A = this chain, B = another copy of it.
Amino acid sequence: MPLTKEALLNMYRRMLTIRHFEEGITEFAKQGLVPGTGHVSIGEEAVAVGACSALADGDYIISTHRAHGHLLARGADIKVILAEVLGKATGCTGGKGGSMHLSDFSRQILGTNGIVGAGINIAGGVGLAIKMRQTGQICLGFFGDGAANRGTFHEGLNLAAVWKVPTVFVCTNNQYGLSMPQCKACGNIDISARASAYDMPGYRVDGTDVIAVYEAVKSAADRARKGDGPSLIEAISFRLRGHSMRMDQMPGGNVYRPEGEIDDWAANKDPVKIFRAKLKELGYLDDKKAGQIDAECQKLFDDAADFARNSPEPAPETAFTWIYAKEGVK
């Protein structure tokens, strides 16, 4: 069943919302408004939106340190997410987790992680719970090309295969793990091929093509929902910015990137541009409509920014809460 015009335009909207969000917080970071750091996914929006569009209501996701896009693609409240990135009381963890710890339990977004590769096993475990509880959901676990070299990738995918849990593993291969080009970090750059080690289907898709990502994840999700077990999807994409907002500002913070690479990629690999062109080709979008959508998405961010910036700082006593849940037999 091909995606409708409306669905496609919604996907475009989501991609653009992510883009505006991350360009916006990059500015905020320069102004010193972001505590710590944050990792923008500019250039990777098609993976977030393609993958999340393939999910049903009630499906879970588990994500990484580079997660704003996943959260927004999955429908989390942009205001709450932005407030969290700014460390405000109205953020999803009241400013205590920041950009690396975003979640929305009302939407089954079970959280992101500051430890690379830690989410893979957690996503498998969510799949295990789904299977044991027979709820018909699935879980989507995002991770990066760098994370794919951690032992947790191996243990997590193998166990998922053994137990046939309904988890879809989505690797955003943005070609770098911090300063490490993917081609120097592993013996075989084809991460999807590792799936065969676990007798699991593996797909390599163009991560700048939101529809390709959608289709791959959709079929993996269908398979998982039917009880046929996990899949691994590798989406080739491009990190158009520095590793983190902090490092992007640091002198030498991008020293490891070949000269011209970012410009070249921005010109040729930008998924938003690519999708916009595609939608125009399909006749779903013209310049006017594109301008309108752009303005809408910018406004979403601007409203969120008003909300977040005007939100209170967390009260000092909140530093001590949530460490333990209250006891009590349930």
Q: Are A155 and B162 in contact (CB under 8 A)?
A: no
Q: Is the interface of A mostly helix, strand, loop or mixed?
A: helix
How many angstroms from the CA of A184 to the CA of B155 in the assembled complex? Answer: 14
Q: Does A252 contact B (CB under 8 A)?
A: no
Give this chain's copy count. 2
Q: Are A197 and B199 in contact (CB under 8 A)?
A: no
Determine the residue in chain B with the shortest Cβ distance to A229: B187
Given contacts A149-B158, A151-B152, contact A188 B184 (CB under 8 A): no
Q: Does A153 contact B (CB under 8 A)?
A: yes
| A154 / chain B contacts, CB cutoff of 8 Å | 149-151, 153-155
Q: Which of B185, B188, B198 contacts A187, CB < 8 Å?
A: B198
Q: Does A193 contact B (CB under 8 A)?
A: yes
Q: Does A204 contact B (CB under 8 A)?
A: no
Q: Are A162 and B150 in contact (CB under 8 A)?
A: no
Distance between A94 CB and nearest chain B CB, rounded to angstroms: 34
| A151 / chain B contacts, CB cutoff of 8 Å | 150-155
Task: Encode contact with B along A215-244: 1 for CB under 8 Å, 0 otherwise.
Answer: 000000000000000000000000000000
Q: Does A186 contact B (CB under 8 A)?
A: yes
Q: Does A134 contact B (CB under 8 A)?
A: no
Task: Encode contact with B along A161-172: 1 for CB under 8 Å, 0 otherwise.
Answer: 110000000000
- 19 examples of A-B residue contacts, CB within 8 angstroms: A149-B154, A149-B158, A150-B155, A153-B154, A154-B154, A154-B155, A157-B187, A161-B187, A162-B184, A162-B186, A162-B187, A187-B198, A187-B199, A188-B196, A193-B196, A193-B197, A194-B197, A196-B197, A197-B197
